[in-house]
């Protein structure tokens, strides 16, 4: 059995993990737990566990320091970070300390078990891979992460780069570099933040010269360059560097490399969209879901949403679908960079999410009929479901169900929440979306099969619903 220690000052989380995870299934056993980093370090020194699950924020010693010191006394021990969204940036930084991965609170037991399974498989072949750790290489970034302002100031003094109101500095992050760009005589500190992300701290007076160097190296044509707000106090460095980091990932959001200015974070800009998507999933509204995802693409292209929102969107949808009784073939990613290297752009990520979820929606009419109390409206819904691809008029429905056209329209809208025409159009467009993805039929043939006997009317209605033509939709989803 592989031994495990859990370090978290919230006892209910520790007990929940211990009781909820099927440790034996993956060959693990929890041998102890700790309420603070100092206590956990003592357990690591004496027990040399295979795996440590640790929180970031703990009393006496935080999780970042625990990982650093724990790796020193037990270099073979594997660390997994348990982190809330508020400490998400620190969880990412922990990856550079030699951490295998992390789980965001509130996490699912399946997420932890997924990581255990991967570790167990790799331990069998003795190929557990962790990011390479070099104290010399990551010293500056580790000092920033741990808030060691004294050490940072010392390095700045050694480089003759004093930081003050009269000599402000600018943090810059470049995402997508295989190796750091040579900056020549420019006064700067250069430090890796991950395998393909480098940070620079330079005097504001050197800013224009640095941009010229980047232009000569064609960096702006190939990489995402994030520029943090100028700082005049060492305590501002962490926030400015984090802002530059998010800005560097703007290449993922907009789909375009180049220079991006770091902005002040907006409070929960994606919350309303996540609520909307949750409601659409609950209602099994496939067409509404597709339309919502298309509208979100625009927010990424315009730079309103960042990779942070992309991560929340991706993770939320993968969480929401199991709760709706469906299964999605996607996987959880353990950070921004994994998402970035998997998809490259937010648009590609959204297209994949739409494809992953397309077949998991159950037919909307089942939800409609189960929630409708009026027997006559249920009969109408079932009739429309069976005949939506044929000529259906309100007069035809009124005659068939012995109702006046006005009363029929009022009753349907009251019970279903949309007009008869809207309902029929939505069913036809949903059918068209499915055929566009799953068949090689021509656009004209698909229009006819779905009840649109005029090609131009079909494309106009389709574009009104999905903000793209049927051809564009097929191209994006194949």
CATH code where residue 9 lies: 3.40.50.2300
Is residue 84 scored above 70 in pLDDT? no
Q: Decide which of 261, 281, 316 is a domain's last residue.
A: 261
**Which residues have C-beta within 8 Å of that of residue 313, sequence separation ≥ 6?**
270, 273, 274, 277, 296, 350, 353
Instruction: Report yes or no: 127 and 119 within 8 Å, Cβ to Cβ.
Output: no
Q: Is residue 429 part of a domain?
A: yes
Q: Is residue 409 part of a domain?
A: yes
Any idea which of 32-41, 149-158, 313-322 has the lowest mean pLDDT? 313-322
Instruction: Report yes or no: 176 and 252 within 8 Å, Cβ to Cβ.
Output: no
Is residue 364 scored above 70 in pLDDT? no
- Residue corresponding to tokens 């020549």: 184
The CB density around residue 227, as the number of other CB atoms within 10 Å, is 22
Backbone angles phi, psi at 106, to 5 degrees: -75, 125
Residues 293 and 393 in one domain: no
Burial class (CB in 10 A: 0-12, 13-18, 19+), 431: middle
Q: Is residue 328 part of a domain?
A: yes
Task: Return the structure tokens found at 319.
Answer: 């969480």
Q: Decide which of 330, 358, 386 is a domain's last residue.
A: 358
* pLDDT score of 328: 41
Residues 391 and 330 in one domain: no
Is residue 3 scored above 70 in pLDDT? yes
More confident call, 318 vs 80: 80
Residues 253 and 285 in one domain: no
The CB density around residue 456, as the number of other CB atoms within 10 Å, is 9
* pLDDT score of 99: 65
Residues 162 and 216 in one domain: yes
Taking Cα atoms as reference points, which of 266, 358, 355, 368 lies closest to residue 312?
266
Residues 198 and 252 in one domain: yes
Q: Quote the CA–CA distance of 322 and 435 in Å, as a whole number.
A: 25
Tally of domains in the chain = 4
Residues 12 and 118 in one domain: yes
Residues 60 and 81 in one domain: yes
At 82, is the secondary structure helix, strand, or coil?
Answer: strand
Is residue 407 scored above 80 in pLDDT? yes
Residues 354 and 377 in one domain: no
Is residue 445 scored above 80 in pLDDT? yes
Q: Quote the CA–CA distance of 178 and 194 in Å, as a whole number.
A: 10
Q: Where are the beta strands (DSSP E) in 177-315?
A: 188-194, 197-203, 224-227, 258-261
Residues 406 and 434 in one domain: yes
Q: Quote the CA–CA distance of 348 and 369 in Å, as a whole number.
A: 35
Could you tell me how far CA 210 lies from the centroid of its own chain? 32
Range of the structural domain that residue 197 is part of: 148-261
Q: Quote the CA–CA distance of 242 and 234 in Å, as a whole number.
A: 14
Burial class (CB in 10 A: 0-12, 13-18, 19+), 168: middle
| Termini Cα distance of the chain | 45
Most trustworthy range by pLDDT among 257-271, 360-374, 421-435: 421-435
Residues 107 and 24 in one domain: yes
Span 201-232, pLDDT tens digits: 888 888 888 888 888 888 888 888 999 999 99
Residues 380 and 429 in one domain: yes
């Amino acid at each position: 059995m592989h031994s495990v220690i859990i370090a978290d000052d919230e006892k209910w989380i520790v007990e929940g993990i211990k009781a909820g995870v099927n440790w034996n299934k993956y060959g693990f056993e929890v041998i102890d737990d700790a309420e603070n980093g100092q206590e956990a370090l003592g357990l690591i020194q004496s027990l040399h566990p295979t795996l440590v699950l640790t929180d970031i924020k703990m009393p006496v010693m935080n999780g970042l320091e625990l990982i650093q010191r724990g790796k020193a006394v037990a270099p073979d021990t594997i660390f997994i970070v348990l982190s809330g969204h508020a400490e998400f940036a620190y969880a990412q930084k922990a990856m550079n300390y030699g951490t295998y991965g992390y789980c965001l609170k509130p996490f699912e037991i399946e997420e932890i078990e997924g990581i255990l399974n991967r570790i167990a498989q790799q331990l069998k072949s003795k190929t557990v891979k962790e990011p390479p750790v070099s104290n010399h290489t990551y010293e500056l970034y580790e000092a920033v992460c741990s808030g060691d302002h004294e050490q940072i100031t010392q390095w700045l003094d050694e480089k003759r780069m004093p930081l003050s109101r009269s000599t402000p500095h600018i943090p810059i992050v470049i995402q997508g570099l295989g190796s750091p760009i040579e900056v020549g005589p420019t006064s700067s500190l250069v430090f890796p933040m991950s395998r393909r992300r480098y940070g620079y701290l330079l005097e504001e007076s050197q800013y224009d010269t640095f941009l010229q160097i980047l232009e000569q190296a064609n960096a702006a044509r190939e990489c995402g360059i994030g520029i943090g707000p100028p700082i005049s106090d060492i305590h501002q460095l962490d926030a400015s560097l984090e802002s530059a980091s998010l800005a560097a990932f703007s290449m993922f959001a907009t789909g375009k490399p180049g220079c991006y200015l770091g902005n002040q974070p907006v409070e929960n800009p994606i919350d309303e969209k996540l609520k909307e998507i949750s409601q659409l999933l609950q209602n099994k509204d496939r067409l509404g879901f597709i339309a919502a995802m298309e509208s979100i693409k625009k927010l990424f292209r315009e730079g309103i949403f960042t990779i942070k929102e992309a991560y929340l969107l991706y993770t939320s949808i993968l969480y929401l679908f199991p709760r709706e009784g469906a299964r999605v073939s996607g996987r959880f990613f353990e950070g921004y960079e994994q998402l970035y290297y998997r998809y490259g752009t937010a648009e590609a990520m959204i297209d994949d999410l739409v494809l992953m979820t397309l077949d998991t929606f159950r037919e909307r009419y089942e939800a409609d009929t189960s929630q409708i109390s009026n027997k006559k409206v249920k009969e109408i819904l079932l009739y429309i479901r069976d005949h939506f691809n044929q000529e259906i008029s309100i007069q035809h429905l009124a005659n068939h169900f012995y109702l006046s056209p006005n009363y029929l329209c009022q009753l349907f809208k009251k019970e279903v929440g949309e007009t008869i025409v809207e309902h029929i159009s939505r069913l036809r467009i949903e059918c068209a979306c499915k055929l566009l993805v799953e068949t090689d039929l021509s656009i004209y043939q698909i229009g006819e099969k779905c009840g649109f006997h005029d090609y131009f009317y079909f494309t106009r209605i389709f574009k009104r619903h999905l903000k793209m033509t049927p051809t564009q939709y097929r191209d994006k989803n194949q």
